[in-house]
């Protein structure tokens, strides 16, 4: 692992992984390709502006000429593919961009890797790896009492977002079976932690509570998700790059499944402890139930036996410790928060989605 192409490295999980890998591999060179759409934020990488081991490239993963040139110019030996449109609500309103980025973009990267590694044979086959980061949402929804998803669970996506990710997973897997491209795939549960764009549940609840705004909870709030602290996710991906078997898929989860309402109440309790003088104390008074999301999956749960037993990874943060770290991070980063919330596109999105709820 010498020259690593990270796609979407200005986004939430990608930026966390860039920092993680630079710390874990003192000799690695990272080429970070990001289109800087709404969820990409250069403030996530502000501390790396003068780091010679981090090269940032503004560009679209669907640009075949650009992607080919990055493989050629930087002798890319490893790809960690985070770049994706990832918000379910946005996929319901505008599915076209999800098809373009998540499916066509993944195809473009696979073709560049196949050309460089298998056709031109610029690097020995045993030294290269294409890792594709996916989601648990490809599995659909679990009913009460059903066992957690394993790597062998059939796909059953319910939203345009999850369908586009399922398609990209199938593409990646097909390049292994058809061409012998050395790939691995990980399907992760809901991430949270530093740098998360505040349209997602946890940062949205934190920031709304601090401002005394309603905390919108879909339906009855009893939807269940498996929550994964982002640094634990980064450690899992790194372990897959080190020891994962090519052609294999690994589930990554946080080993806990609270309801969405429990998550919101926990955030409120943490804010009550950290901000006892807040004019909005107690913050749970701000909770507001709103109409449920169309096609909202009821329950997710991940079986992480495979990655734990085969690669020795397991999450280090439980929900309480992870949420405590996350809330404190947002409380101590007002400049970062303003860099997002004062943007016109963010304000417009929030107004159109939450103003009438």
CA–CA distance, 242 with 236 (Å, rounded to integer): 10
Active site residue 310: no
Alpha-carbon distance of 60 to 35, in angstroms, equals 5
Q: Which of 34, 161, 175, 238 is catalytic?
A: 161
Is there a catalytic annotation at residue 77? Answer: no
Could you tell me how many helices (H) and strands (E) the chain has, helices first?
13, 11
Catalytic residue, from 60, 137, 297, 303: name it: 137
The structure tokens 């996710």 sit at 233
Nearest to 252 by CA among 136, 146, 354, 158: 136
Q: Look up 354 and say whether it is catalytic.
A: no
Going by the DSSP 8-state scheme, the letter that residue 281 receives in this structure is -
DSSP state letters, 285-340 = GGEEEEPPPTT---B--B--HHHHHHH-------HHHHHHHHHHHHHT-HHHHHHH
- Here the contacts of 125-128 (C-beta below 8 Å, separation 24 or greater) are 125/180, 125/182, 127/77, 128/77, 128/78, 128/182
Q: What amino acid positions are annotated as catalytic residues?
A: 136-137, 161
């Amino acid at each position: 692992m010498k020259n690593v192409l990270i796609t979407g490295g200005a986004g939430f999980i990608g930026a966390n992984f860039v920092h993680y890998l630079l710390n874990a591999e003192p000799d690695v060179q990272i080429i970070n390709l990001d289109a800087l759409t709404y969820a990409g934020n250069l403030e996530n990488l502000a501390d790396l502006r003068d780091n010679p081991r981090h090269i940032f490239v503004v560009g679209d993963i669907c640009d075949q000429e650009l992607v080919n040139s990055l493989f050629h110019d930087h002798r890319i030996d490893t790809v960690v593919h985070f770049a994706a449109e990832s918000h379910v609500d946005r996929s319901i309103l505008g599915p076209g961009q999800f098809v373009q980025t998540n499916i066509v973009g993944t195809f473009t990267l696979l073709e560049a890797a196949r050309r460089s590694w298998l056709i031109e044979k610029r690097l020995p086959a045993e030294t290269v790896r294409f890792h594709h980061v996916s989601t648990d949402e490809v599995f659909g929804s679990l009913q009460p009492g059903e066992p957690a998803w394993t790597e062998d669970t059939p796909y059953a996506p319910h939203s345009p977002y999850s369908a586009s990710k399922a398609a990209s997973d199938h593409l990646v897997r097909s390049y292994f079976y058809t061409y012998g491209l050395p790939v691995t795939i990980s399907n992760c549960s809901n991430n949270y932690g530093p740098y998360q764009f505040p349209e997602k549940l946890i940062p949205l609840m934190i920031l709304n509570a601090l401002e005394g705004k309603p905390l919108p909870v879909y339906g009855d709030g009893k939807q269940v998700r498996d929550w994964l602290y982002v640094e634990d996710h980064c450690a899992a991906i790194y372990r897959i790059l080190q020891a994962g078997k090519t052609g294999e898929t690994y589930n990554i989860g946080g080993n806990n499944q609270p309801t969405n309402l429990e998550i919101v109440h926990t955030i409120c309790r943490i804010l009550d402890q950290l901000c006892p003088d807040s004019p909005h104390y107690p913050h749970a008074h701000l909770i507001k139930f709103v109409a449920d999301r169309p096609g909202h999956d009821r329950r997710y749960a991940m079986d992480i036996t495979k990655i734990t037993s085969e690669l020795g990874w397991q999450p280090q943060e439980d929900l309480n410790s992870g949420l405590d770290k996350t809330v404190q991070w947002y409380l101590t980063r007002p400049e970062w928060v303003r860099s997002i919330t004062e943007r016109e596109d963010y304000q417009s999105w929030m107004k159109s989605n939450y103003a009438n709820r």
